[in-house]
Amino acid sequence: MRPSKILLATDLSCRCDRALDRAAGLAGEWGARLVVVHALQRPAPVVDVPSWRRPVDPRRAALRRVRDDMREIVDLELEVVVEPGEPASLILDTAERLGCGLIVTGVARDETLGRALLGTTVEKIARQAQVPLLVVKSRPRGPYASVVVASDFSDASRAALEQVLELLPTAQVSLFHAYNVPFEGLVNDRMAAREASAREAAAMSQAFLDATPAVARSGRPVAQICEYGVIEEVLTDLAEMGRVDLVALGTKGRSGIVGALLGSVSGRLLGSLTLDILVVRRSAG
């Protein structure tokens, strides 16, 4: 089932404009209510000055800014939450309290997310959110048409595939796996070894799809892409060729993204890819 409520987390800066456009587009496509959340920063102390020189009430200013940003977006049910507090906690608490099925946000800045996100709001949301998190990097140019699910054939990858099939029923979905040759430097016939690894990866990919009931239920073909090389480099090449506009990643448990940002595959993908990323956290257990 598609979410009936989508939460947009924004700091009201221009770097969240793309996330706003994407969240509004999805809300319109799904007939969902859009919940816009902004955490107020601690205001500067007010000194004893005339009333006409005192700063504008920050909550009122933030509410006005959100309304102004949403002025051209019509035919959407809109709810605005502007409250003081630590941003990640406010976002997560609001998502749970209002039953939001997707959190959408932008990125901190246009440098690698390994530096920009570690220990920041987006990382905290990704680590703790009970619902999928959509990190928007690209300017929306229509609905997602081509979605790649990066897979290591784990249950976490299966959860990501299931979410994509449910949320985006018109998109072309591909299951992607990057393989290599163990101890390749010690192998005499590297080409033969790569061909053998390619056959093994293809067999595992097909077995993974056969063992995912959501694929059969959807009645949709899921393409398989098995490529030799480093996963972030291959996915970057696919994105530059215009073959991908969204990558979905699965993570497991409360510590999944923490480990990812310290060097695992999910963290490298978050940092290197310039397109949108859907992070689906599979609950431990």
SS3 223: strand
Instruction: Render pLDDT for 196-229 as a digit per residue (tens, 0 to 9).
Output: 899 999 999 999 999 999 999 999 999 999 998 8
SS3 171: coil
Fill in the amino acid letter for 142: G
CA atoms within 13 A on the CB side of 120: 14
Q: Does domain 1-106 have CATH number 3.40.50.620?
A: yes
pTM for this entry = 0.84
Edge-to-edge strand ranges of the sheet holding 78-84: 78-84, 33-40, 5-9, 102-105, 133-135, 276-282, 246-252, 146-150, 172-179, 222-228
Tell me the domain boundaries of the chain. 1-106, 142-285
Instruction: Render pLDDT for 43-92 as a digit per residue (tens, 0 to 9).
Output: 555 555 555 555 567 777 777 777 777 776 767 888 889 888 888 999 99
CATH architecture of 142-285: 3-Layer(aba) Sandwich (3.40)
